[in-house]
A and B are shown apart, each in its own frame.
Chain A
Amino acid sequence: GQSLEQPSEVTAVEGAIVQINCTYQTSGFYGLSWYQQHDGGAPTFLSYNALDGLEETGRFSSFLSRSDSYGYLLLQELQMKDSASYFCAVPISGGYQKVTFGTGTKLQVIP
């Protein structure tokens, strides 16, 4: 089976930096994705790490350590619009097409 664990809630101040962690347990690991979901909205793709290390996309960065089965999403220069839920996700293949989502972290950005 697979499991992806995240903190349920995080609160951070506008302009600050916040890190959202994800620990996973899965077979057939290919990489770790991150999705953002605003209340009432659809998940939207943020990033994907197939290899160890840091991937940077603007204010957002994502990190992966395959040996530790761990990754995180780093949000810098937080803005109020970053208030949303963030999900890590793991695709598996090998004849299957399935992306499993983590438990989700609700980020609240406060002034």
Chain B
Amino acid sequence: EPEVTQTPSHQVTQMGQEVILRCVPISNHLYFYWYRQILGQKVEFLVSFYNNEISEKSEIFDDQFSVERPDGSNFTLKIRSTKLEDSAMYFCASSEGQATNEKLFFGSGTQLSVL
């Protein structure tokens, strides 16, 4: 079965540094998402992306965050200046159609640790 791939699986960074988390969605999917999960807590929506623009973002997704689809396959999440509270597991997801009708396929995540 096709899958969403994320790299790296673990990322350790110093507070204030920039990080880029990378994702390769399933090839025929058109909708892309970033979620995060702090250990032991629920999966929180960050942003959705369709047709090369942000469709929806949460209050967590402030000016320090940005997303990009630099080519036909990659989808990235950039955190410009990391904070301690950004430490979490970040999941990329994709869906073939609109989220109302389609299931989301999640990648295995990037564990971000901000020191």
Whether B99 and A93, one on each chain, are in contact in the complex, defined by CB atoms closer than 8 angstroms, is yes
Nearest Cβ on chain B to A26's Cβ, whole angstroms = 12
| Number of chain B residues whose Cβ lies closer than 8 Å to a Cβ of chain A | 25
* B55: interface (CB < 8 Å): yes
Nearest Cβ on chain B to A7's Cβ, whole angstroms = 13
**Nearest neighbor of B105 in chain A, beta-carbon distance:** A45
Given contacts A41-B108, A42-B108, A45-B104, contact A96 B56 (CB under 8 A): yes
> For this complex, into which size category does the number of interface residues on chain A fall?
20 to 34
* B65: interface (CB < 8 Å): no
Whether A91 and B100, one on each chain, are in contact in the complex, defined by CB atoms closer than 8 angstroms, is yes
Name the B residues within 8 Å of A27 (CB-CB): none
Residue from A31, A93, A101 in contact with B44 in the complex, judged by beta carbons closer than 8 Å: A101
Given contacts A30-B100, A45-B103, contact A97 B108 (CB under 8 A): no
Whether B33 and A99, one on each chain, are in contact in the complex, defined by CB atoms closer than 8 angstroms, is yes
Given contacts A42-B107, A48-B103, contact A97 B43 (CB under 8 A): no
Nearest Cβ on chain B to A73's Cβ, whole angstroms = 15
Whether B43 and A43, one on each chain, are in contact in the complex, defined by CB atoms closer than 8 angstroms, is yes
* A11: interface (CB < 8 Å): no
Nearest Cβ on chain A to B108's Cβ, whole angstroms = 5
Name A's B-contacting residues (CB within 8 A).
30-31, 33, 35, 37, 41-45, 48, 87, 91-93, 95-104
7 further A-B pairs in the complex, CB-CB below 8 A; given A98-B56, A98-B58: A30-B100, A44-B106, A91-B99, A92-B100, A97-B50, A99-B33, A99-B104
15 residue pairs of the A-B complex, CB under 8 angstroms, read A30-B100, A30-B101, A35-B43, A42-B106, A97-B31, A97-B33, A97-B48, A97-B56, A98-B55, A98-B58, A100-B45, A101-B35, A101-B42, A101-B45, A102-B42
